[in-house]
Structure 1
């Protein structure tokens, strides 16, 4: 790929894309938002407010056929991710797909096969690992800053009882585990670099076909994990890595700069604390730039589909208990 900006197209005018990923695609170094595919010209016009010259395609296929689009971002409802991800690859477009990239492991296997057949980059938009707070947490753990890791606990909750919201619609892949469970589980997998040995327990509350609360415990080699997600609870998010010589805590691990400021705290046995803050970092922009570097060079992408598959396997196990 040349040094000219990577021209991105978005399939669908999702509100999340309008608020977060659309602006990131246009603000990231070496990238520009060139087109949006939607049946609504009114929705696309909102994207054009920050991306002048934006082209409007009235169908997803038309955008995939556009020779002036270099890469595609997919923020469609969950059940459409793999279908349109494969179509993008077959059209010769590298693709960044919003999480969860698939509804189950079998779907992700299909996407991996399509990626390999096309020889193109396809990845899940797991943006948190591109934030320096997570990279710092990983580096601290690997350096032995907290000694031997004993336990990880994580929580992510919000309140949303709107029956019309896609997060609460079972037939299109709604539910708390698919929406935010990936962060609770995936963050631990990223920092530790480990796969779980077993699912120890899972307690799930269902409402109208979707999980609104999930409390789960996994066993890893050398440490245990406990986490929960809730979509009918007051907002809360935090992650702790508890070792025998210290604790690494993230007080705003998932929605940095929105829920609160990004902060990593290293607590030591002598009760001293080192506080690391990361103001002004846009993890969506950093995600787009990392994807671009992987397209332009031999740099590996930090969250390949195999990582997404391992995460989905954990979610599948928990959902099976429902």
Structure 2
């Protein structure tokens, strides 16, 4: 493997155009070389910032391209496992949008294929690469707020006007939980090493997809148990917030998931005696950092911050939530 990881994008999604393809193009140690789309018009936006981009008319053609080392997969959720497996079979490293699978059991075949091929396969859970979350994890591990007793996470937006959006369609694996629940639940697992113990959930559905979900219950972590509350929705005014409350302080993240898009990311640390500090991260680009960390793991063999085993654990929590949920 050379010093530069050559990337192809499997599908000309709007998200790939606005976020991930530019991140690959800008990342150190990465080169965006190919795109697969059957619609040449969709390639134009990509070629505007990457004129040398090679466009393949099919996913299979891109996977057969010897000039591509790794692929990024932004396809609809229900197609993820199929094309991750095909990419690994083609000898490509794979970064796949979340959720990589529609249930935890589907991860097993992907993990086995990853191990058999010796290639890197990962879910694009970008927040673990952002310095605000790395800093939050450090502070929580060091006991900056004492023992964590309560965690509350909210992530909402409103896309009711876009009925054709894949998030609003059951046949493409839509819903607020598959789309953003992985952040509301996975973030607590990441910073605290936590796992659910007992959960309750209320879910509202429209057209076969969840549009509102409220989860509460108990989670356990190495430092002890805590109560958890997580809320996601595709029908509410946009909101993002993550709060970790301990017995001697509190940490609040103001833009935990769409940093710089939703708002400026600020980590607030509040402690006894009205002592508060505010750390800002205006220059951090988590998608770019994700690509750079992926390349570093491929080239140098360093551990990837978000292995498939972690992603499977978050999906297992999602599965548990759906299993216990009651309708609103």
Query: What's the TM-score, normalizing by structure 1?
Result: 0.98
- Report how far residue 101 of structure 1 moved: 0.6
Q: Which of 262, 287, 296 is the matching residue for 1:284?
A: 287
Q: For residue 298 of structure 1, report the CA deviation from its aligned partner.
A: 2.1
- Name the SS for the 1:49 alignment partner: helix
Unaligned runs of at least 5 residues, structure 2: none
Aligned length, in residue pairs? 320
2:243 to 240, 257, 279: 240
Deviation at 1:198, TM superposition (A): 2.4
- Deviations 1:281-300 (Å, cap 9, x if unpaired)? 11100000000000011210
Matched with 1:33 is 32
Secondary structure of 1:301's counterpart equals coil
RMSD: 0.8
Deviation digits for residues 261-297 of structure 1 (CA, Å, limit 9, x no counterpart): 0100000011111000000211100000000000011
Judge which range, 311-320 or 95-104, deviates more: 311-320
SS of equivalent to 2:146: coil
Moved over 3 A (4+): none
Measured in 1, the distance between the counterparts of 2:201 and 2:181 equals 13
Which residue in 1 is equivalent to 2:271? 268
Q: SS in structure 2 opposite 1:167? A: helix
| Aligned equivalent of 2:311 | 308
Local SS of the residue matching 1:212:
strand
Deviations 1:157-181 (A, max 9, x none): 0001121111000011000000000
- Distance of 2:43 and 2:113 partners within structure 1: 29
Q: Which stretch of structure 1 is more off in the superposition, 166-175 or 217-226?
A: 217-226
Task: Provide the C-alpha distance between the structure 2 equivalents of 1:119 and 1:219, rounded to a whole number of angstroms.
Answer: 37
In 1, Cα distance between equivalents of 2:81 and 2:60: 15
What is the SS of the residue equivalent to 2:216? Answer: strand
What are the within-5 Å matches in structure 2 for residues 161-176 of structure 1?
Answer: 161=160, 162-176=162-176
1:133 corresponds to 2:136? no
Deviations 1:14-38 (A, max 9, x none): 0000000000000000101100000
Deviations 1:75-111 (A, max 9, x none): 0000000000000000000100001111111211221
| 1:55-70 mapped onto 2 (5 Å cutoff) | 55-70=54-69
- Residue 83 (1) aligns with residue 82 (2): yes
Give me the whole-angstrom Cα distance separating, in 1, the residues matched to 2:154 and 2:92. 36
Local SS of the residue matching 1:81: helix
2: CA distance, partners of 1:287 / 1:133 = 14
- The answer for the alignment partner of 1:100 in structure 2 is 99
- In structure 2, the residue matched to 1:196 is 196
Tell me the distance in 2 between the aligned counterparts of 1:194 and 1:183: 14
User: What is the CA distance between 1:234 and its match in structure 2?
Assistant: 0.2
Query: 2-side partners of 1:297 and 1:6: how far apart?
Result: 12
